[in-house]
Amino acid sequence: MPPSARLAFSCGLLGLILTVLNQFSAQGLPDALSPAISRAGVLAGVLAVGLMLVGLLWTQAQPPPRDRVALAGREGLELDADLPEPLRQELAWGSTMLLTATPAATLLLVWDGRVLLRRGLLAEQAFQEGPISARARSQQQLISLVNLSLYPGAAEFSYLPEGVPAVLLYPLGQRGLLVLGGWAVRCFSRSDERWIQGWGERVRTALEALGA
């Protein structure tokens, strides 16, 4: 629970306890059941419960960040030298944005079986398409593997840094694939997926325009 949410929840809980204790301690007073005291007790209880709900909703709206995994690999950028300069600049800019604006630790762009871009933490293994990658292209759907250790076919991602906890695959039509490895389990949000889809379609359009 974030500190701000914890503070709101704690204040609400403390207020509720004090309200209950106040009502019990007032039982012996002559005017303990007066409408004014009853209304004050109900109002204080509602406000205390409201603060507790704020703390809980705050936690749901801002979930605590997942622990990053210490991944092995060398930082680098590998960009196909045969691409036109405007496309090289687009790939360099877009990959920088994805690595800084999303939890991606590494990314890889494949087109017609050829690796055009690798950036972030790089592994030594070469790319080789496996069943999960092929399914993403055949179904033309984004596939998010939120916890790679739970998938039996995780060995096909040996071209990513060892121990990468989450993988996201986005097909670029039938000819290409965008692969991202995340720093933590369940690290890619819906917003991250929209970022990746938007840039992926932009790159796909540029590559198809080359006529390659």
If asked whether residues 45 and 122 sit together in one domain, one would say no
If asked whether residues 54 and 95 sit together in one domain, one would say no
Tally of structural domains, the chain = 2
If asked whether residues 101 and 181 sit together in one domain, one would say yes
| 137, 174 contact by CB (below 8 A) | yes
Q: How confident is the model at residue 17 (pLDDT cuts 50, 70, 90)?
A: confident
Q: Which amino acid is at 135?
A: R
42/23 Cα distance (integer angstroms): 10
12 within a domain of the structure (yes/no): yes
| 183, 167 contact by CB (below 8 A) | no
If asked whether residues 90 and 174 sit together in one domain, one would say yes
**Non-local CB neighbours of 197 within 8 Å, separated by 6+ positions:** 142, 170
If asked whether residues 52 and 108 sit together in one domain, one would say no
Q: Which helix (H) or strand (E) holds 125?
A: none
Q: What is the pTM of this model?
A: 0.69
68 within a domain of the structure (yes/no): no
Q: Examine the pLDDT at 36 and tell me if it is beyond 70.
A: no
pLDDT, tens digit, 9 for 90 and up, residues 72-103:
888 999 999 999 999 999 999 999 999 999 99
> Could you tell me which residues are beta bridge partners of residue 129?
none
- pLDDT the model gives residue 60: 60
**Non-local CB neighbours of 145 within 8 Å, separated by 6+ positions:** 132, 151, 154, 166, 167, 168, 169
69 within a domain of the structure (yes/no): no
66 within a domain of the structure (yes/no): no
